Amino acid sequence: MFASSCFLDDGGRPWAEPPHEAAVLHQLRRRLGETLQLEAAAAWEAEWQARTGIAATAIGAAVVLQGRLDAGEPVEAGATTSGGWRLVARLALEGSAAGLTTTLWALLPPDGTGLAFVATGGATPEPWSWEQVRAASDARRQAQAAAAAFLGAAEQADPVHRAERTASRRDFFRELAARRAAREAVERRGDALLHLFDGQPVRLEGAVLLGAGGAVVQSGIEARRLDIGRTGPFSGAPQERPWEEQVWARPLGDRVWRRGRVRPEPDRLVFVDAPAAEGPERGDGRPPGEVRPRTLEEDLLAGAEIRRKAAGSEVYARLLYTALENSTWRHTDGTIFEGGQRDTADLVASVVDAGSYLDWAWSGPTGLLDEEVLADLGALGWKPAR
């Protein structure tokens, strides 16, 4: 490479300072043209440009884009310069001096190869390496984490802010309670209390169970209605349905429940055991096509009896989901099944061959084992893990 002192300015005087790249190229062309063949001069210039020009042209493109940004023009990803450089992304960084902001530019050259990084906004634009970019990104993440920790500590220590946050949470839960209370009601039938949600029965206390001769054999029975989803401030209204189509369940103990019907009378509520009680909903009963490995999933999909019941009764399908949701089951051969909410809902949808997990998850009663479901799973060799 020629030293800068061997280049002359337009007056024939040697340059005292390193010249601008364009001026160097201009004299290089002239000097090479005088001493070398034209083809050799072009090849030499191309090599020199390849070695020194990529970074310089990338800086030039970044300076052009920075100028647009300073002028208030929108500069977004995809913007191009007259030289064909394309903006991939830009990032504003804190400058080293107070009040200065450094902008980091990611640029692609016209041929689409060799991504270049250039930082502008300081005293002199400069190219950055991948290592510098990653270091700046790590520093920014650390600064954000430190700022979040600082803010959290300050909020926790400030009694005024803490009191406001506590009051806000209290108001939120009061509003939820008010919404639910506005939708709830209680009716008395003799010694029994019938709980209503949006006017529909959902729970009862104090029902009686009658024997074969009509005599009361058990009183004070509590029961839940099963053919509705969970009730809450944001839930929909339960479906209106005649008493003979409603499905209820009463606890037998040890988390096992028995299905049945409720018969309202003027001065009492009567619970009638019906272990196979179901609602009017029906699936199409088509067998699922998916083949699963040797697990509880495979047993359920291969079990004709459970599939028939689940496909034919929405209540049974929801009770199957309730039995498996967030629980552990053990097969007689030692195989373990651990069901979550999402995967259990997917499984029930496959067994019924209707709907998706959204149709079954979070929609049934919680905390109970239906005795028929328990017996059917037991027939396949599966028991709840204690």
Mean pLDDT by 10 residues, the chain (386 residues): 41 49 50 48 47 72 88 90 90 66 89 86 81 88 88 86 83 79 90 93 95 90 87 67 93 93 95 91 54 70 85 86 87 85 83 74 74 91 84
Same domain, 254 and 317: no
- Rounded Cα–Cα distance for residues 249 and 277 (Å): 9
Residue 271 contacts residue 231 (beta carbons within 8 Å):
no
Instruction: Please indicate, yes or no, if residue 376 is contained in any of the structural domains.
Output: yes
Instruction: Please indicate, yes or no, if residue 192 is contained in any of the structural domains.
Output: yes
Tokens of 88: 């991939």
Instruction: Please indicate, yes or no, if residue 302 is contained in any of the structural domains.
Output: yes
In one-letter notation, the amino acid at residue 149 is A
Instruction: Please indicate, yes or no, if residue 206 is contained in any of the structural domains.
Output: yes
- Rounded Cα–Cα distance for residues 72 and 129 (Å): 28
Residue 377 contacts residue 307 (beta carbons within 8 Å):
no
pLDDT of residue 362: 65
Same domain, 257 and 326: no
pLDDT of residue 1: 36
Asked which of 239, 273, 307 is the last residue of a domain, the reply is 273
Report CA 41 to chain centroid distance, whole Å. Answer: 61
Instruction: Please indicate, yes or no, if residue 32 is contained in any of the structural domains.
Output: no
pLDDT of residue 19: 44
**Is residue 181 within a helix (H) or strand (E), and if so which, with residue range?**
helix 159-183
Domain of 343 in residue numbering reads as 296-384
Instruction: Please indicate, yes or no, if residue 42 is contained in any of the structural domains.
Output: no
Same domain, 190 and 268: yes
- Number of alpha helices (DSSP H) and beta strands (DSSP E) in the chain: 9, 15
- How many domains would you assign to the chain? 2
Burial state string for 307-339 with b = 16 or more CB within 10 A and e = fewer than 16: bebbbbbbbbbbbbbbbbbebebbbeeeeebeb
Q: Which residues does 18 contact at the CB level (< 8 Å), separation at least 6?
A: 4
Instruction: Please indicate, yes or no, if residue 371 is contained in any of the structural domains.
Output: yes
pLDDT of residue 309: 87
pLDDT of residue 308: 87
Instruction: Please indicate, yes or no, if residue 108 is contained in any of the structural domains.
Output: no
pLDDT of residue 41: 42
Instruction: Tell whether pTM > 0.75.
Output: no
pLDDT of residue 234: 56
Q: What share of the chain is helix, strand, coil (3-state, %, to 5)?
A: 40, 25, 35
Rounded to 5°, angle at Cα 173 from 172 and 177: 120
Residue 371, exposed/middle/buried by CB under 10 A (0-12, 13-18, 19+)? Answer: middle
Same domain, 216 and 258: yes
